[in-house]
Every structure is written in C-alpha cells, then in structure tokens.
Structure 1
Amino acid sequence: MSDTILVTGASGSLGGAVIRHLIDSEGVAPGRIIAVTRDASKLGALAEKGVTVRAGDFDDDASLAAAFAGAKTVLIVSTDAVGQPGTRLRQHRAAVSAALEAGASRIGYTSMFSPGPGNPVLFAPDHHGTEEAIRASGIPYSIFRNGWYMENLSMSLPATVASGQWFTSAGQGRTSHVQRDDLARAIAAGLAKPPADSATYTLSGPEAFTNAEIAAMAAEVLGKPIAVVDLTDEQLAEGMAAAGVPAPVVPLLVSFDAATRSGVLGTVTGDVESLTGRKPIALRAWMEANKAAIGG
C-alpha cells in the first residue's frame, strides 16, 4: 500500500465526496484508498467498492495510530468540535502526530480562508494552529483553505425567506461561496496529483457577493421579497438571543458576519479551476438548482 491515500471523516459530507471524486473523477483505484471514521460500520458501501475501511477516533491516539498505519498521503478533514474550545486543535494535532508516526509522505488538511491572527471567526485559531503543526512536522503538505459552503445558505436562507428579512452585521463585506462538491473535486485532484513540494490552495467560488446582493439574487430566484436589515454585532447578538438561539452559539454566528465585514471571506481565486480543469458552479446557478433547500 505504498501509494495509499487516507481520508478522515469519511462518513461525513466532505470526506465522503472527496473519496467519491478520487475514484470517479481522478481514477484512483479503490484499493489505494483508506477511509477512516469513528464508526466503520457506516462505510459499508465503500468497503463493497474495495476501499479499505478503518475505525479511527481523534480522541483516541491508539486508534488513530492503527487507522493511519501504511498511509502515505493523509487527508485530515477538520473535525466538527467547533463548540468545545481547545478540543478541535488537540484532535488535529493528534492526527498530525499519527501521520508522522505512520511514516506518511504528505499531509493534506481542510482549512479555511486566512486562518491567521485577525480572522474574526472564533474557530479560525484551530485552523491556524493545525497549519502550524503540519508545517512543524517537516512532512510535505497540501493545505486546502476552503471557502464558505454554498450549502450554508440552505441553513440560513429558509428562515430569512419565510420572514422576508435578513438581519446582518456584515455590512458591505463579501463572501465567495463555493459548492461543497466543487471543493471535494478540487481536494481529490490535489491529492491524486500532488505537487513536488508543499502547497497551499485557496478554494473559492467564482465571485464574491455582499449579503444584500445575495438577498436580491435569492429574491429573484424564488420570487419572494427579502429586505436586508443592517445591524451592529451587538444588535445582531441581542436579536439572536431574543429569537432563542442557544447562548453558546450566538458569538460564533456573529463572528461569521464580522469576518464577512472584514473581508476575510471574500477572497476569489482560480485554484478550484486550476486543480480540476473546470469552473466551480456560480451562486445563482446553485440557487436555481436548490430552490427547495433555500426556501422555494
């Protein structure tokens, strides 16, 4: 298994899509792929295709060591422990150590735009610390700084469409939303055809829009009016609390708008197309294809 590609979070949406594109888009033989998740019983369909399926828990060093054994390229898909300060970074560092112990020749990691100091997103330090740990390992790396998922709009827009109002503190800041499947395709390409040295990719959508522009676009696609209500961060937090948003979640959601306002989420690059040979889907096209999901 000298040329194996291991993907963590294989039962999740992004990890599963990366594996699918490794096989379908990049022609990687299933026998070269190791799929890792906490509960390996969830990966039966991959096992039937010939993918090696292993259980690995980011909170159990011994299980990670066993899961990573023999892997040459390791993709660490960032965990979902965003509401537990310190947990996510500890988990990621454990995965980097396991890759080092396994003798991996490359580490891949799913990061975010501009994760360094100055990024208002509350979990940005987790990504920054993980990137630092990967660089410190001395192993060549491929860091994929993923843009904001278009699918995030499926969680926020339905309530906005239903009320006809979008409360935001993002101001004139822009977001270059990108479809998760386009990210997965790009990551798979980067893993299947790695550069000779280390590389950092910034994976964005083809264009960045303000929330007002996104609201207008959604209104046109759905045929329903949406008014944007500009607030301060403090007003937005108060409104969320009054609407029943759990207290620990409010600061995180507000930090997203603060990051948008600061310009952190508006970067546009051609890295997706460079890796895959095809342009990522445009936001309006995605909306039109997902009307039901966004409130249509």
Structure 2
Amino acid sequence: MTIAITGATGHLGRLVLDSLKGKVPAADLVALVRTPAKAADLGVAVREADYDRPETLDRALPGVDTLLLVSGTVPGKRVAQHRAVIEAARRTGVGRVVYTSILRADDSPIDLAADHRAAEADLKASGVAYTILRNSWYTENYTGAIPGALAGGALLGSADGARISSATRADYAEAAAVVLAGTGHEGRTYELAGDEAWTLPDLAAELSRQTGRDIPYRDLPPAEYAATLTSFGLPERLAQAIAGWDAAAARGALFDDSRQLSRLIGRPTTPLATAVAEALAAHATTV
C-alpha cells in the first residue's frame, strides 16, 4: 500500500512520516513536496506536488492508495488549493484521502473554519473515500510565545479563562499515522483534541513554576492585543487573526472533552507541563 503525504517537509508532515516509518516500510511512503530539493533528508521517495500547479498533482498521485492532504496555510488560496488536490486524487484513482481539518468545523467561530468546511464538502462530493481529522490547536501555538513572555515578563492574550484542549504536533501526527496505516477509518470524522483542558493563566502559572520567575497572564481586549502584537513586528493581518482566534477560544472554540485523540493513539496526549519544558529547553539553546 502506497501512502503519500502532502507538505511533507513541513512541521506536521515530517512528524507524520516519522510516525509512519514505525508502522509501514519506508518503501511504501511518498513525500509530496513543492520543492523536492528540500526533501533529500526524509528517507523516502519524493515527488513534486504543488497545490497551485495541478499538472504536478496529476504526475505525483498515480499509484497512491492513501493520501494525507495537509491543509494549506495561505488565506484566500486554501479553498482552491484543497479542491485542486481533491480533484487530482479523483482523476488519478487515489483510494482514500485523509484531510486535516479544524475542531468542530461545522460550527466553529474561528475564521479558518470556513475554508475547512469547503474542503470537507468538496471531499465528500468527490466520490473518493475519505477520513477527516478535525484537529484542535497545536500546543506549540502557545508555547511559541514563551520567549516573548520571558523577555517581557508577562504572557499576553485575549482568551480570558477559556479552556483550551490543545495537543502537540507529535500527538496529531501520530493520530494521522494511525489512520493512514490502519483500516476501518473510511467515512469517519474525528474530533481531535488534548486530554487536558488548560487556560492561559494555567500556562503562565506553569511557566512561572518551571522558571522560578513570576510570569503573570495579562488579558487584553482583542483590538489592544492585536495592536500590541503589531508593535512587536507581526504583520497587522496576522496580529488581528491571532487576537481573533483568542476571542473565539473565549467562546469555547478550542475546548473538547471527547478524548478521541488519546483513544486513537492509544496513550494520553502530551501534558502542558511537558510541552512547556520542551519549549524552555529549546529556548535555552538559542540564547
């Protein structure tokens, strides 16, 4: 069985490949990438596949039994990009497409959900067998703010006391590998989130505990938070998006207690304390 992974040189794609290597022979894996030269270290077959160039998809997908479609990242282009991959999968006879969506895409208030709803609808209408992985936020989305919190003496956000059921990229990658290499997942939609629901004040408290410093959480109105992020050098559009995601989290967008992720991977998801420790260790190597 040939399993192909789009975006295989990205953060998630690499982790999915690593997890799959423990489940299927490397000879059965194909990395689909926009720039093959960047994939020389993956240890599997590599094919060029650019979401924006359908002709590369038609060359890359023949012979693929199961395809992981890692969702695109460019606002305004994702719907067309996902549709191009799904249509190419149909044309070339791909057996099943596994798609990385967003938690509770049907009714999520997060602005990204609209693009995911479109992709899910296109996939269901394509006639190709599918599995949908609706991922909550990466814990790394938050631990990535640790260097700034340490430098500024506070963790900033707009999520108030929202409960966030995040999981690490490695957790989601392992789930994707289980679904890609396993059977019985056709037609299934999984709502994937971490076992531990934590708040931004919890993250600040854990950061304080592990560093021995007082790092409080400062909750800001979304407009003020976006302006603050812009003052730190983030593009205005991204800063507004981040503040909007926090505001959506405050309305429950990132909370889920179904524990489908831990059941799928057969272990508890990575605790927040572990993710913070790993982020601090990584930060220590850069300063």
Q: TM over 0.5, yes or no?
A: yes
Check 1:188–1:118 CA distance in 2 against 1; reply closer, same or farther (3 A cut): closer
Q: Give, in whole Å, the separation in 1 of the partners of 2:11 and 2:227.
A: 32
Q: Give, in whole Å, the separation in 1 of the partners of 2:203 and 2:143.
A: 13
The answer to whether the aligner puts 1:240 opposite 2:229 as a matched pair is yes
Shift of 1:43: 2.1
> What are the ranges of 5 or more consecutive residues in structure 1 without an aligned counterpart?
none
Q: 1:39 aligns with which of 35, 39, 43?
A: 35
- CA deviations 1:207-233 (Å, max 9, x no partner) are 111111111111111212112222222
Residue 95 of structure 1: aligned partner: 85
- CA deviations 1:128-167 (Å, max 9, x no partner) are 1111111111222111111211222342121112212223
- CA deviations 1:227-270 (Å, max 9, x no partner) are 22222222222333344432221221111111210111121332
Q: Give, in whole Å, the separation in 2 of the partners of 1:159 and 1:53.
A: 37
Q: Give, in whole Å, the separation in 2 of the partners of 1:45 and 1:167.
A: 37
The answer to whether the aligner puts 1:259 opposite 2:269 as a matched pair is no
The answer to whether the aligner puts 1:74 opposite 2:55 as a matched pair is no
Check 1:124–1:220 CA distance in 2 against 1; reply closer, same or farther (3 A cut): same
Shift of 1:117: 4.2
> What are the ranges of 5 or more consecutive residues in structure 2 without an aligned counterpart?
none
Matches within 5 A, 1:131-146: 131-146=120-135
Q: Give, in whole Å, the separation in 2 of the partners of 1:206 and 1:12.
A: 25
Q: Give, in whole Å, the separation in 2 of the partners of 1:294 and 1:212.
A: 21
The AA in structure 2 aligned to 1:107 is: V
Matches within 5 A, 1:1-296: 3-24=1-22, 26=23, 28-46=24-42, 49=43, 51-81=44-74, 84-85=75-76, 87-119=77-109, 121-195=110-184, 197-293=186-282
Contact 1:154-1:294 at 8 Å conserved across structures: no
Instruction: Give the TM-score of the pair, scaled to structure 1.
Output: 0.90
Percent of paired sites with the same residue: 33
Contact 1:65-1:98 at 8 Å conserved across structures: yes
1:175 match: secondary structure: coil
Check 1:238–1:52 CA distance in 2 against 1; reply closer, same or farther (3 A cut): closer
Counting matched residue pairs gives 285
Check 1:64–1:285 CA distance in 2 against 1; reply closer, same or farther (3 A cut): same
**Structure 1 segments (4+ residues) deviating >4 Å:** none
